Amino acid sequence: MTFKLGLTGSIGMGKSTTAQMFAELGCALWDADAAVHRMYASGGAAVAQIQAAFPSAVQDNTVSRDALKQLIQQDPAVLKKLEAIVHPLVAKDRADFIKSTTSDIVVLDIPLLFELGSEKTMDAVVCVSIPAEIQQNRVLERGTMTAQQFETIRENQMSNDDKCARSDYVVITDTVAHAKQQVQQIVSQIRGQLAHA
């Protein structure tokens, strides 16, 4: 049996770093964002459908994220249409990955896990967390967005408190060492359960 462990957390919480810690302990890792990148790339699973729906969003047989952003800004209804194309493809990619893995634990890195209702298909959920001010500092230090853009993203996501309350495990990512220690405990606990199943 493969144990499905959902991994989620808001922007800047340290989710990608935490995901790698699980991978280092022998867990198979599937990343929703990486799956979308593959689908948007030349020859990707989403290119033809997105081209049919939004011709201007595809350039050189590749989906342009910038063009999609502009379309969504002009017409918010575009996002719903886009999600109707992409979400089923992502779900299939995830199911195929789970089927093909030989690992005892598969970690499914899904930023919008609760927003999409994907927690229902998991055996357990981990949420990464840090205080809001550290989160904001981390995101703004990257230099990829303004404070206003960050606030907009945070407002559109489920609150961190709600995510933590709905999760089976919470990993505090204040330091790498502390996060690693918590990840090791979670993996040990799950492997202990699997051994007695």
Summarised one tens digit per residue, pLDDT across range 95-137 is 999 999 999 999 999 988 998 899 999 999 999 999 999 999 9
pLDDT at 156: 77
Residue 197 confidence (pLDDT) above 80: no
Average pLDDT of the chain?
94
pTM over 0.95: no
In angstroms, the Cα distances linking 85 to 81, 113, 153 are: 7, 18, 22
Q: What is the mean pLDDT of residues 32-56?
A: 95
Averaged pLDDT for residues 23-35:
96
Domains and CATH numbers, the chain: 1-27+103-197 (3.40.50.300), 37-102 (no CATH)
